[in-house]
Amino acid sequence: MKPSPLCILVLGGFLFLLSIQAQAADSKPPSALSPVEQALTHITSEDEAVRDAALRTITEQGDSSLIPRLEEIRANVDRSIRQAIKPVMDLLKNRAKLESSEADARRSAATDLGTSGKAVAIPWLDQAAAKEPNKWVRYTMEESAALLKLAGDDQVARLGAIEKLGGLASQNAVPALQEFVTVGTAAEATEAQQSLAKSAKASIERIETWAAWSNAIETMFRGISLSSILLIMSVGLAIIFGLMGVINMAHGELMMVGAYATFITQELFRAFVSPAFFDYYFAVAMPMAFLVAAGCGLVLEATVIRFLYGRPLETMLATWGISLVLMQAARVYFGDLTAVAAPAWLSGGVQVMVGVYLPNNRLFIIALSVVCVLAIYAILFRSTIGLRVRAVMQNRNMSACLGIPTRKVDAYTFAFGSGLAGIAGWALTLIGNVDPGLGQNYIVDSFMVVVTGGVGKLAGTIVASLGIGGLNKLLEPSMGAVYGKVCILVLVILFLQWRPSGLFAIKGRQADT
């Protein structure tokens, strides 16, 4: 069918009218509105060019007081416009956050701006960096500004940014710098691109050297952190082992008892003490954990261990039975998972250098292990009871002849060792959940520490836990956690070939102890 001429005429006339109307809407005479106000009205325009121009005006203005108005506009427009407005609002918000009083907010705003790719943000970041008091926030601001400059067209600014990022050892910049290198080394690269590539290469090298160092330091820290956990767990075990030749297989569950004591203290604080003092619960929980675990140890000694002296293997089995009972009791009573909220002053961390961030709770545990060891040394070597403990350790019969109540010393030592387990449990609540299996996580490792360290000398335990903890973290990145453990077991066995009774065995004439 052919369209009739009349039809075409009517349709054409209709279209013409429509276009006139559209032009009329566009060519509204400029009013007395300020450019920003005007832009705000233009934002909702159908025409993309107009809209973009409006958004650019608002962005350049950078006034965060516009956010509520933008919010309002967004509520009433369709999806494509909403999506166009969103990044502008984010930019404005982040700019406002750069002035925030909280360092973390300033820092995250700087990071966001850095990844936004908007060159507008460069002067904002530069201004903010100039008056920033916090070193690490300033670092992020400078890094973000340099990252944005990389995307620009200005050759000199780019070279400067590349240089700067190398100096900052910025890990985030590596992909972008890599891009420069690939572009600049291609056959058709211009001279400018080549010089950029050369500079980028140098910067990447600097960044990578720095990363290697910071990685090494972080690995070392992780190793020390694990070592200190092992040390806190093992000292109690080692003292009991040294004195009585007994490995207390319920040690892990005594730690669990300490952890639950912490949890209960927290719940009591939550229920009866005003929230203002809530954070003090953690300090109160420490003696609680020690006393409860020590009490458990005392009961354990009086009812079970006492009857098994001189039979270490049987003691191991009996204490393992007790550990089963304790674990199941916790499971039945507390259920499977309860968490302790770390006090505010222990959350967060410290940044010591670029790429190295040390969490506070780990630092706390390291400090605690040092304090524990010092306290134990003081007790063992500066007090009467310590003197007695050492005497019994060295020669039980002789000490008994000299009037030392060896059985009492045993009981107190066992309770003390158990109390140390309680403190270990208290500390472990900082880095994990409190659950009935808490004691099982590291316990075999700490047995290994005690065995490797040898009997009777604390130094052995310290060195062994440093060795096993450090090796664990050293092997983990290259071999994976499981094969690292396999490797450590093999190493321990080989080590015992050389020193069958551990690092620091007491020298003497006894062939069979």
Partner 1 sequence: MPENNHAHIRTEPALGLFFWLIGFVLLILMPLLNVLPAEDSWLHLSDFSLNRFGKFLAFAILALGLDLIWGYTGVLSLGQGVFFGLGAYCMGMHLMLTIGKESVYGSDLPDFMVWNQVKALPLFWKPFYSFPVAILGAILVPTAFALVFGFLAFRSRIKGVYFAIITQALALVAWLVFNRNETNLGGTNGLTDFKQVLGFRLAEPGTQRALYVLTVLCLGCAYLLCQWITNSRAGRVLIAVRDSEQRVVFSGYTPANYKLFVFVVAAALAGLAGMLYVPQVGIITPAQIGVLPSLEMVIWVAVGGRGTLAGAVLGAVSVNWARSVLTNYFPELWPFILGGLFVVVVLLFPDGLIGMMRKAKEQIRLVKATRVSQAELLR
Compare residues 259 and 450 and give the one whose CB is closer to partner 1.
Answer: 450
Residues 381-400, one symbol each (x = binds partner 1 by CB under 8 A, - = not), give: --------------------
- Residues 267 and 274: their CA atoms lie apart, in Å, by 12
- Three-state SS annotation for 351-388: EEECCEEEEHHHHHHHHHHHHHHHHHHHHHHHCHHHHH
Contacting range for partner 1; rule: CB under 8 A; set: 41-49, 95-103, 159-167, 304-312: 304-312
**Sole binder of partner 1 in the list 123, 321, 348, 477 (CB under 8 A):** 321
Stretch that binds partner 1, among 10-18, 50-58, 412-420, 448-456 (CB under 8 A): 448-456
391: left (phi over 0), alpha (psi -120 to 50) or beta: alpha
Q: Which two tokens stand for residue 488?
A: 């450590």
With binding defined as CB under 8 A, does residue 511 bind partner 1? yes
Q: Which residue has the tokens 């396999």?
A: 486
DSSP states along 226-274 = HHHHHHHHHHHHHHHHHHHS---TTHHHHHHHHHHHHHHHHHHHHHHS-
Question: 24 vs 332, which CB is nearer to partner 1?
Answer: 332
Q: Helix (H, G, I), strand (E, B), or coil: what is residue 328?
A: helix
CB closer to partner 1 out of 276 and 332: 332
Q: Is 311 in the site for partner 1 (CB under 8 A)?
A: yes
- Residue from 39, 150, 162, 322 in contact with partner 1 (CB under 8 A): 322
Q: Which stretch binds partner 1 (CB under 8 A): 122-130, 326-334, 341-349, 415-423?
A: 326-334
299 lies in the binding site for partner 1 (CB under 8 A): no
Which of 145, 224, 450, 466 is the binder for partner 1 (CB under 8 A)? Answer: 450
Interacting residue with partner 1 among 246, 254, 409, 438 (CB under 8 A):
246
**Residue 199 or residue 452: which is nearer to partner 1 going by CB?**
452
The SS3 call for residue 425 is helix
| DSSP secondary structure string for all residues of 426-443 | HHHTTTS-B-TTTTHHHH
- Nearest-approach distance from CB 267 to partner 1, in angstroms: 24
Dihedrals phi, psi of 461, to nearest 5 degrees? -65, -40
Q: How far is the CB of 448 from partner 1 (least distance, A)?
A: 6
- Compute CA distances 148 → 29, 126, 180, 495, whole Å: 38, 11, 14, 55
- In this structure, what token pair is assigned to residue 107? 């820092």
The site that binds partner 1 (CB under 8 A) totals a number of residues, namely 47
Q: Minimum Å distance from CB 399 to partner 1?
A: 14
Using the contact rule CB under 8 A, the part of the chain among 94-102, 119-127, 361-369, 493-501 near partner 1 is: 493-501
- Regarding 247 and contact with partner 1 (CB under 8 A), the answer is yes
Residue 295 interacting with partner 1 (CB under 8 A) = no
Q: Which two tokens stand for residue 349?
A: 């961390």
Cα 128 to Cα 98: distance, rounded to the nearest angstrom: 7
With tokens 């494509």, the residue in question is: 80
By the rule CB under 8 A, 498 interacts with partner 1: yes
The C-alpha atoms of residue 114 and residue 146 are separated, in whole angstroms, by: 8
Q: Which residues bind partner 1 (CB under 8 A)?
A: 241, 245-247, 304, 307-318, 320-325, 327-329, 332, 444, 447-448, 450-451, 482-483, 485-486, 489, 492-494, 496-498, 500-501, 511-512
